[in-house]
Amino acid sequence: MGKITKIVFLDNIKSKIVIVYFCLLALLSWSSMLLQDNETKGALTMLNIVLFIVPLMSLLYTVIYLYDSRNFIVMLLSQPLKRQRVWQSFYLGLSGSLLIAYVLGAGIPVILFSSLQTSLLLLLSGCVVTLVFVSLAFLIATLTSEKTRGIGAALLIWLLLTMIYDSVLLYFVFLLGDYPIETPLMALLMLNPLDLVRFQIILQMDASAMMGYSGAVFKEFLGAAGGMIVSSLLLIIWMALPYAQSLRIFKKKDL
């Protein structure tokens, strides 16, 4: 597994797209931290980068790379190698290259201009988002063999989790505002990994002005400590479950 992981990792770390991703993160991060007059505003801007750009890159790049590497995967499977080892190697190589691009691109300005707690939380959150959406990309690539459909599904999932999901929830909150909907709303919000990351950062920073209605509900029911524990467990599930399902499909799939 180590040799395949190294090949995939080096292939991706030298990719022009990953280099552009690194440069874009560095540009946005330096700009965000230098142009804001306090740490909270800079952290909010960085949070938006984590919630929009990182998922899009992780999903699209991983899906496209897996489809383009189909012949390489078939060649590897013609050797006496277990499918699980091949799939794990691709996951480690792809996620490792994207994680390094994120940490180096966004990490330096965040560490220099934020407190240790805030910088570590932002970096960890970006890494978690990367792993979640790489796992989702692996699942997409196994569910459909057509590259066009896979890219379309990746874009649809990105739009759903970043924009559509919360917009629909807010619409129902507006319609049902006179009813006690806090508990079902909290349960629905916890189904979105990006909402979980948002709550992790906001609860840890105790920035109530940034939380909005949904975050206030989350903190009221779970408290800061409980919210962190529950959201962390759910994020682990979001990282592990899509990959585990993709591996199960990949083991049985006729390539």
**Per-residue model confidence as pLDDT tens digits over 61-118:** 999 999 999 999 999 888 888 899 999 999 999 999 999 999 999 888 888 887 788 7
Q: What is residue 8's predicted lDDT score, i.e. its pLDDT?
A: 92
For residue 172, pLDDT over 90 is answered with: no
Task: Pick the range with the lowest mean pLDDT from 4-8, 63-67, 135-139, 177-181.
Answer: 177-181
For residue 178, pLDDT over 80 is answered with: no
* Predicted model pTM: 0.89
Q: What is residue 225's predicted lDDT score, i.e. its pLDDT?
A: 67
Distance between CA atoms of residues 193 and 129, nearest Å: 8
Q: What is residue 32's predicted lDDT score, i.e. its pLDDT?
A: 80
Q: What is residue 221's predicted lDDT score, i.e. its pLDDT?
A: 61
For residue 119, pLDDT over 90 is answered with: no
Q: What is residue 100's predicted lDDT score, i.e. its pLDDT?
A: 95
Max mean pLDDT among 29-43, 75-89, 179-193 falls in: 75-89
Specify the higher pLDDT residue, 153 or 204. 153
Averaged pLDDT score across all residues of the chain: 84
Q: Which residues contact 20 (CB under 8 A, 6 or more apart)?
A: none
Rounded to 10°, the helix 193-205/39-68 angle is 160
